[in-house]
Structure 1
């Protein structure tokens, strides 16, 4: 009874996480505040923590200066 709607919600959440992940990586690459080494560290952090990494980037890293 609830299988199909839950599957759609799960798919929407999964797709949102993938979009968030790629948006973070693109944002890191386009950042002018960080050197190449710091960008690499941020990308490694995003890869290591696929949910928390992008959120930390958008709330903390994007607005700070390397």
Structure 2
């Protein structure tokens, strides 16, 4: 009786790691897409060449924070300066 209880796995024990892995992959894919979208947005923006380089370097050094800051701060500064 003891041997069978140690070798059997409950469905929750096998499902939880799979859900965690799927969630991690989904979050990772979303972050990568956000970074790529920010880089494309920077390259297509009306920001001067020097500021484009600064933003790209910032995204390379701090990918998630840099991309988020570009969308919340950088793009707004471009639209206000027009």
TM normalised by structure 1 equals 0.93
1:12 aligns with 2:26: yes
2:45 maps to what in 1? 31
| Greater RCO, 1 or 2 (C-alpha within 8 Å, sep 6+) | 1
1:50 maps to what in 2? 63
Ranges of 4+ aligned residues in structure 1 off by more than 6 Å: none
TM normalised by structure 2 equals 0.76
Q: Please state which structure has a larger fraction of its residues in helix.
A: 2
The number of aligned residues is 65
The secondary structure found in structure 1 opposite 2:63 is coil
User: What is the CA-CA distance between 1:21 and the residue it aligns to?
Assistant: 0.3
